[in-house]
Amino acid sequence: MLYTMKPILDKAREDHYAVAAPNVLDYKTIDVAIKTAEKKNAPIILNVTFETNDDLSTFVNYAKDKAIHSKVPVAINLDHGGDYEQIIKSLKMDFTSIMVDRSMLEFEDNIKEVSEIVKIAHTLGCSVEAELGHVGTNIGADSEGMLGSNTIITEEDKKATFTKVEEAVEYVERTKVDCLAVAIGTVHGLYPKGLKPSIDFELLKKLRDAVKVPLVIHGG
């Protein structure tokens, strides 16, 4: 069954469970993800990026066909959507949901850009995820040895980008997003040697109690 993320995550929030959102990298991982969800009788979100496949339109159509014939609810989500052109192309490809990642922008700029896309996406029946705070990466240095601006090195790096509860409430009210990705200590990629994972569950609870839409956790 093909769904947007909104009804899948709204029900998860209401009934107190999480929904897995694996990144599908090829046709085989689409098949495996959906078969596993059916085996567990659980809804699933297929995360797709523009870098996934050279022929992304065909890839998404394959995922849609598998989702339509699935026994469980399946959403197809653009993960970490980039510039405006990429977002519009995704909507034309019939992604059922899109993530608009403007988490590196200042608060007001983030709201402005996301709000604009929410209006378009909702008109087309597509749900929208956005990120406030910033889930950094541990991928590390580039070819010249320079660290990216969002590279996590220390615990202080992480905490500096944590989502603030008051801002999250205002952000959701103003943007009208369907779900919100928050920064609570998870990061993308592998941890550098000596840096142990730590998650602020107390902050997560405060966000869950204050924010009116489902929360999304990125990173591994």
**Taking 80 as the threshold, does the pLDDT of residue 195 lie above it?**
no
**Taking 70 as the threshold, does the pLDDT of residue 146 lie above it?**
no
Ramachandran category for residue 69: left, alpha or beta (phi over 0 → left; psi -120 to 50 → alpha): alpha
The mean pLDDT of 125-139, rounded to a whole number, is 83
Percent of the chain exceeding pLDDT 70 equals 87
pLDDT of residue 141: 39
Alpha carbon distances (Å) from 37 to 22, 89, 163, 213: 11, 28, 30, 23
pLDDT of residue 148: 44
Say if CB 67 and CB 43 are below 8 A apart: no
Domains of the chain in sequence order: 1-100 (3.20.20.70), 133-220 (no CATH)
pLDDT of residue 51: 82
**Taking 80 as the threshold, does the pLDDT of residue 35 lie above it?**
yes
pLDDT of residue 161: 81
Specify the pTM. 0.87
Residues taking part in catalysis: 79
